[in-house]
A and B are shown apart, each in its own frame.
Chain A
Amino acid sequence: MERETGVWRLVFLALPLGVFTVLVIWPLASSFYYSFTNWNGFSDNFEFVGFSNFNKLWTDKLFFNAAVNTAIWMVAAVLIPTLLGLGLALLIDSRIPGGPVFKSIFYFPICLSAVVVGQIWIWIYQPDWGLLNVAIGAVTGSSPDFAWLAKPDTALGSVIAAWAWQHTGLAMVIYLAGLTSIPEDLLEVCEIEGASTWQRLRVVIIPLLTPATVVVVALNVINSLKGFEILYIMTGGGPFNSSDTLAMHMYNESFKKYLMGYGSAISVVLFIVALTIIGIYFRELKKVDEIYG
């Protein structure tokens, strides 16, 4: 009987474990493997080159540029949707007229794929007839033809804005759920103790939203780590690598320059960075559990 359940367990586990191995472990392991080679991506002839791919990273200006952009991207892609989502949730929770409608409108973009979002925003940023320039023109009375995605100064920021537009809704919905779970009597204590709106927010509501923040930040971190498609669609890392990120750089090195070994080294670095961030995150999570668990 005991043994039989054991067998069945293995049988049922086999499929998910198999899928996990094929889709996660195997590519990961191959990345590690190829990062020590000079493989070009298709040829059977390649050699082990030791750490030379990793040494090359130190001298690669584009890698450095991509690392900085990735840092900017990550911070912005986590912070902006989180803060905007919190702000919107607080607004809607304070029962402004039309709240439920706003809620649906802001949530809607999360249902779109990065390709669709990217295309929508390419149109919005279009220099001649794009919504943004038209709107600026209407306000200022001029007729600007600024190419938002084609200028190094604005390319990354413009993509971040599109990203934030898509991801704010999710943060907002999670924060709204968090707000409804704050016990009414705690807010009443604030009223009796004479807390100002700002004090109530800072001392009570935001700390009590910590569990929601944990979820929102986790989702945003994971999403932003994966945030390759929208950059690829909107700028492709350009112009002049101004919106290049590590993922984009890795893609370019591996598939455009056929330096699969070097690309793998970049992906290994990316993996270690992601692992570190997630590690830090889980450590913080424990502290939160201590208080709210």
Chain B
Amino acid sequence: MARLVLDNITKSFGTVQVINGIDLAIAHREFVVFVGPSGCGKSTMLRMIAGLESVSGGRIVIGDRDVTHVAPSKREIAMVFQSYALFPHLTVAENIGFGLRLANTPKAEIDRQVGEVARTLQIEQLLERKPRHLSGGQRQRVAIGRSIIRNPKVFLFDEPLSNLDASLRVQMRLEIARLHQRLDATMVYVTHDQTEAMSLADRIVVFNAGRIEQVGTPIELYEKPANTFVAGFIGAPSMNFIEARIDSSGGAPIARFGPASIPLADAERRFQPGGVTLGVRPEHILIAEGRTPDFTATVEIVEKLGAESLVYLQTGFSPDPVTMRVSPEHPVKPGDSLPLCLDQNRVHCFASDGAAI
């Protein structure tokens, strides 16, 4: 079983600690995606799993084996790089069969395995070409082929699609998902494209400054973010944050911001009177048709994306524009004044330290 356990991993470069105690257990066949802002340590963590970077502290277990100090080639991992990392002087076939050649596998056997891998990736017609005569998507396929042929327990991907254009990225994303279904392997995938993360992951790990902010399924992170960082990071366009005051004088707590006040009916949440940050996803701001609006706002910009339109609103209570989604047919235009309500059951509350209440 190819589970992967990270046990209190730390990493320092010189005096700078970039990974601050990562604990994570990844199950056999799980597809885990690392996301986080640039420089938060995703690549460093992945490279430590691969063995390309030593750990400063902690343990890495793959399967039932402690591999913390095992050479990369003995860890039963394969890695796909953002840069593809193909050898320019070798043909596609030689690139894919590189590891087998190093292991002195007989030529016929190399050819057979390379052929098989090329078939699954549909690059058979490219086998004799050199990498520079391939498109980006084809190169990445070859790089993936080189990792498949190793038959690893754990696949590691470091932003494998970020050098591809948007449509190809979607296509390759699907292919990686398919690959994961077909292969009996665990996958760890680094990206900062959160659509990629949401669509591929069984579980997403949100990194920030060398720590894990939250681990969960895409829906969990979307619906129950543990703090403002995760709430703001997951979902595009981002969640709106609104500063509000809690008023519990009338019994049930009420959040007041600007002219608006919304009841926070959720009995399980315990509120201290005082400040709170409300988190509202763009799709949870609704046009008040026939209802009493919570507030009104002025339309600043409308982005028509085809399947939906994004409306940026100016409000009296938030310095930043508030974003909402409307259906593309809605005749909203800049300058309009819209009566709006919030989907009150979907409003997130965060304490002053950022943690969800």
> A-side interface residues toward B, CB under 8 Å?
183, 185-186, 188-189, 191-196, 199, 203-204, 207-208, 210, 290-292
Contacts and interface: CB of A to CB of B under 8 A. Distances in A.
B71 interface: yes
Contact of B85 (A189, A196, A199, A207): A189
Interface of B: 50-52, 71-74, 77-79, 81, 83, 85, 87-89, 98-99, 101-103, 130, 132, 146, 150
B130 A193 contact: no
A171 B321 CA distance: 62
A194 B89 contact: no
A219 to B, nearest CB: 22
Given A192-B52, A194-B103, A199-B102, A186 B72 contact: no
A189 to B, nearest CB: 5
Contacts of A192: 50-52, 72-73, 77-79
B99 A193 contact: yes
B87 A188 contact: no
15 contacts: A185-B85, A189-B81, A191-B51, A191-B73, A192-B51, A192-B73, A193-B99, A194-B73, A194-B99, A194-B102, A203-B98, A203-B101, A207-B87, A208-B87, A210-B89
Given A192-B78, A192-B79, A193-B102, A291 B73 contact: no
Contacts of B88: 208, 291-292
A185 B130 contact: no
Contacts of A189: 79, 81, 85, 87, 98, 146
B85 A195 contact: no
Contact of A188 (B78, B85, B130, B132): B85
A185 B71 contact: no
A183 B81 CA distance: 12
A207 B73 CA distance: 22
Contacts of B103: 194
Nearest to B47: A188
Contact of A291 (B81, B85, B89, B101): B89
State the main secondary structure of chain A at its contact with B.
Answer: helix
A207 B98 contact: no
Contacts of B85: 183, 185-186, 188-189
Contacts, number: 63
Contacts of A196: 102
Given A194-B103, A203-B98, A208-B87, 6 more contacts: A183-B85, A185-B83, A192-B51, A194-B74, A196-B102, A291-B132
A207 B98 CA distance: 14
A196 B50 CA distance: 18
B99 A291 contact: no
A96 B226 CA distance: 50
A198 to B, nearest CB: 11
B102 A195 contact: yes
A123 to B, nearest CB: 45
B188 to A, nearest CB: 14
A193 B86 CA distance: 13
A203 B98 CA distance: 9
A285 to B, nearest CB: 15
A194 B130 contact: no
A192 B87 CA distance: 14
A188 to B, nearest CB: 5
Contacts of A185: 81, 83, 85
A187 to B, nearest CB: 9
Contacts of B77: 192
A183 B51 CA distance: 18
A210 B88 CA distance: 11
A54 to B, nearest CB: 44
Most chain B CB inside 10 Å of its own CB: which residue of A192, A195, A210, A292: A192
Nearest to A204: B87
Contacts of B132: 291
B141 to A, nearest CB: 16
In the A-B complex, the 3 residue pairs with the smallest Cβ-Cβ separation, listed nearest first, are: A194-B73, A185-B85, A193-B99
A195 B101 CA distance: 10
Contacts of A204: 87
B79 to A, nearest CB: 6
Contacts of A186: 85, 87
Contact of B72 (A183, A191, A199, A292): A191
B129 to A, nearest CB: 11
A129 B52 CA distance: 54
B2 to A, nearest CB: 16
B83 A183 contact: yes
B52 A207 contact: no
B98 A194 contact: no
Contacts of A194: 71-74, 99, 102-103
B160 to A, nearest CB: 12
Nearest to B101: A203
Given A194-B71, A194-B74, A188 B52 contact: yes
A290 B71 CA distance: 35
Nearest to B74: A194
Contacts of A188: 52, 72, 79, 81, 85
